[in-house]
Structure 1
Amino acid sequence: MTIGTSPPNTAGTRMRRTSGGLASVLRLRELPVTLALIALVALTYLANPLFLGQQGMKDLLLNATIVIILAVGQAMVIITRNVDLSVGSILGIVAFSTGTLFVAVPGIPIVLIFLAGMALGALLGSVNGFLVTVAKVPSLVITLGTLYIYRGLNNAWAGGTQYFAGDRPDSFGALSVDTIAGFPLITLIAIIVVIIVAIFMASTRPGRDLYAIGSDPEAAKLFGIPVTRRVLLAFLSNGVLAGLAGVLYASRFNSVGATTGTGLEFDIIAAAVVGGVAIFGGSGTVVGAAIGALLLTTITSALTAIRVDKFWQQAIVGLLILAAIVIDRIARIRTAKKLRHSEARDV
């Protein structure tokens, strides 16, 4: 008589894998904001079918593009347990410098415009990072100061001057008009930015270090992570993306001047937080920040489409921010409890 081994329970194994995969999806921080975005679009479409028309979709993507790029940069900073309040001012000064270059240097290649804008953004972002890391002053205080400094410099430089769509080459303005597969060119640039930064954050040592710093800066130092260099990198990268957004802003809108970008920083922080980036640092993704940016701009467009007062638009955004912070806090408490239970079992 032969004694055989029992066949493996492949069905049970597959079921456990499926349930485990489903549980992982349900734990994604981006899931609630994604579902909220889908529900918002569906409900608005039912109320106004033109919302998802060809022009409606194009306007929706164009409105979100600048905010997406800025939210990605801001997410990198917030993940390190910092914040940059000066991004609106950086965008404004870069947008005005873009108009200035087109007028001062006729025929300048558009590639050079992009490089110059990103270089200026990198410089201003580096100043923020240097002051935060060297002076050891909270980023909230530092960037609140540079917000006004950069805005003041732009006001002094621009004065009453404004540059309009007619001051730029048609090919530059076409970035916001021409489409590929229904996507405006500047939106495709934003998507490429999200992909590149997401890969950097998830698959490179410096990107993972940013999460470690945000989780526990002192522990990160003990593990040999160059905290100062990494935080400076986050602020510099944020400046580069703010510079890119400034150039695209000059392409997207009809005029740039001294007030360009004013107040934009609060929308950007809101987009990152609503997208699942923990305001206390250490968790969240740039993809989530991009989805949060798309949700906030969609809220504005949706409520406008169904003729809701602007006050309610701002109130809803405020409620979303509070909900995101509460959800993050609850998630942290649950994680801490699980960790304590696990340690108790090991003992």
Structure 2
Amino acid sequence: MSTPTAQTPAAKQPRALPLRRQRQFPNVFRLREFPVTAALAVLVLATAVVNPLFLSPQGLKDLMLNATVMVILAVGQTMVIVTRNVDLSVGSILGLVAFGTGAVFAGAPDMPILAVVLLGMAFGSVLGLFNGLLVTLAKVPALVITLGTLYIYRGVNNAWAGGTQYFAGDRPEAFGALSVDTFLGIPMITLVAIAVVITAAVFMSGTRSGRDFYAVGSDPEAARLFGIPASKRILTAFLVNGALAGLAGVLYASRFNAVGATTGSGLELDVVAAAVVGGVAIFGGSGTVVGAAIGALLLNTITSSLTAIRVDKFWQQAVVGILILAAILIDRLAGLRRARNLREKEGRNV
């Protein structure tokens, strides 16, 4: 009688380990970032089959350079959207800082590049802080507030710039080299974007303040009841978003040949699209900066790949629109599925 008792745990133990390993595998496919990453990989491979030059060293460098500014903007926008808000003024902030960068170098060409970067981020953070104060103090939806500041900042840029433009020859050679020089084949400004993504990802997932952003976006009233300073977190999100838009403005001035009154026009919609396509819930509370960065890379790759295979620009915009609708639909279906599973689990526990 003792023999069966000794063999029973030994027979069950080997079966438990493979089951545990099998459950770890499907979890990868459940990540919010998986669909957009898979779509990016399929798009790149399909385009490379049609046009082999698409994956040439220069082609890859162009892909990274084209996505750099959008990736940085998408990271900042994600922080705001996660708190159940949105910032439509980022394109105007970028334009102001980019033109200001040109003006600074035109007046003081010997100013250190790092000082100009910090100055641009400080300028952007002030503009972002203004947005945050209006949203938290006036208790008006961020969509309305930032739509207003979009036109205010754009108007200031138009009045400041007028017909003036600053070109590549007006900036120091070392500043322009940031978009030319590479490290291990990666452009220097792209390395800056990667550092921003990593830093923001660690902050959002590894710190209490970052996790508070999700709590505020999921249920602001419940967050306040739990002692989370919701207004302070929203203000922080707008400030950081403004600082990153300022950084993107400085890098934009390095990347492109000219900056002027219209620099950054229309970028705000592309940034929101990148975040949504990357799995960030438009109603707040979920999503990651990594997913938003991949979404930005995907949207830029779509434009580059369709151009490489000579598809009309109208269809490029149509594809982006379809992606946005698909991302929202998938997020909605996933939310309904999670709610159903939760109800079933609660029913079993009763």
Please report the TM-score for the alignment, with normalisation by the length of structure 1. Answer: 0.98
Give the structure 1 partner of residue 92 of structure 2.
Answer: 89
- Tell which deviates more after alignment, 12-21 or 324-333: 12-21
Give the structure 2 partner of residue 239 of structure 1.
Answer: 242
Aligned-partner Cα distance in 1 for 2:100–2:248: 13
Aligned-partner Cα distance in 1 for 2:11–2:242: 55
**SS state at 1:7 partner:** helix
Aligned-partner Cα distance in 2 for 1:64–1:325: 22
Q: How far is the alpha carbon of 1:324 from its aligned partner?
A: 0.4
Give the structure 2 partner of residue 133 of structure 1.
Answer: 136
Give the structure 2 partner of residue 291 of structure 1.
Answer: 294
Question: Which of 176, 180, 193 is 2:179 aligned to?
Answer: 176
Give the structure 1 partner of residue 50 of structure 2.
Answer: 47
Does the CA-based 8 Å contact 2:50-2:309 persist in structure 1? yes
Q: How far is the alpha carbon of 1:15 from its aligned partner?
A: 1.7
Give the structure 2 partner of residue 324 of structure 1.
Answer: 327
Aligned-partner Cα distance in 1 for 2:278–2:301: 13
Q: How far is the alpha carbon of 1:52 from its aligned partner?
A: 0.3
Question: Which of 280, 283, 288 is 2:283 aligned to?
Answer: 280
How do 1:251-266 residues align onto structure 2 when only pairs under 5 Å count? 251-266=254-269
Q: How far is the alpha carbon of 1:13 from its aligned partner?
A: 2.4
Structure 2: unaligned runs, 5 residues or longer: none
How do 1:183-202 residues align onto structure 2 when only pairs under 5 Å count? 183-202=186-205
Aligned-partner Cα distance in 2 for 1:8–1:77: 53
What amino acid is the match of 1:251?
S
Q: How far is the alpha carbon of 1:24 from its aligned partner?
A: 1.5
Give the structure 2 partner of residue 111 of structure 1.
Answer: 114
Give the structure 2 partner of residue 154 of structure 1.
Answer: 157
Q: How far is the alpha carbon of 1:106 from its aligned partner?
A: 2.7
Give the structure 1 partner of residue 26 of structure 2.
Answer: 23
- 1:300-326 deviation per Cα after TM superposition (whole angstroms, max 9, x unaligned): 000000000000000000000000000
Please report the TM-score for the alignment, with normalisation by the length of structure 2. Answer: 0.97
Question: Which of 207, 217, 228 is 2:231 aligned to?
Answer: 228
- 1:115-173 deviation per Cα after TM superposition (whole angstroms, max 9, x unaligned): 00000000000000000001000000000000000000000000000000001101000
**SS state at 2:319 partner:** helix
Aligned-partner Cα distance in 2 for 1:15–1:56: 43
Structure 1 residues 180, 9: closer, same or farther in 2, change over 3 A?
farther
Identity %: 69
Q: How far is the alpha carbon of 1:14 from its aligned partner?
A: 2.4
Give the structure 1 partner of residue 251 of structure 2.
Answer: 248
Give the structure 1 partner of residue 220 of structure 2.
Answer: 217
Aligned-partner Cα distance in 2 for 1:106–1:297: 32
Q: How far is the alpha carbon of 1:346 from its aligned partner?
A: 2.0
**SS state at 1:108 partner:** coil
Q: How far is the alpha carbon of 1:12 from its aligned partner?
A: 2.1
Q: How far is the alpha carbon of 1:341 from its aligned partner?
A: 1.5
Q: How far is the alpha carbon of 1:339 from its aligned partner?
A: 1.4
- Tell which deviates more after alignment, 142-151 or 105-114: 105-114
What amino acid is the match of 2:46?
L
User: How many residues are treated as equivalent by the alignment?
Assistant: 347
Aligned-partner Cα distance in 1 for 2:163–2:18: 67
Give the structure 1 partner of residue 346 of structure 2.
Answer: 343
Aligned-partner Cα distance in 2 for 1:321–1:152: 29
What amino acid is the match of 1:247?
V
Structure 1: unaligned runs, 5 residues or longer: none
Aligned-partner Cα distance in 2 for 1:14–1:345: 26
Aligned-partner Cα distance in 1 for 2:14–2:255: 54
Aligned-partner Cα distance in 1 for 2:84–2:22: 34
Q: How far is the alpha carbon of 1:10 from its aligned partner?
A: 4.3
Does the CA-based 8 Å contact 2:109-2:172 persist in structure 1? no
Does the CA-based 8 Å contact 2:109-2:171 persist in structure 1? no
- 1:78-117 deviation per Cα after TM superposition (whole angstroms, max 9, x unaligned): 1111000000000000000001111112300111100000
Aligned-partner Cα distance in 2 for 1:27–1:86: 33
Give the structure 2 partner of residue 271 of structure 1.
Answer: 274
Structure 1 residues 8, 196: closer, same or farther in 2, change over 3 A?
farther
Give the structure 1 partner of residue 101 of structure 2.
Answer: 98
The answer on 1:313 being equivalent to 2:311 is no
Q: How far is the alpha carbon of 1:8 from its aligned partner?
A: 6.0
What amino acid is the match of 1:78?
I
Does the CA-based 8 Å contact 2:93-2:242 persist in structure 1? yes
Give the structure 1 partner of residue 36 of structure 2.
Answer: 33
What amino acid is the match of 2:117?
F
Aligned-partner Cα distance in 2 for 1:29–1:166: 44
Give runs of ≥4 in structure 1 deviating > 4 Å: none
What amino acid is the match of 1:15?
P
Question: Which of 48, 56, 60 is 2:59 aligned to?
Answer: 56
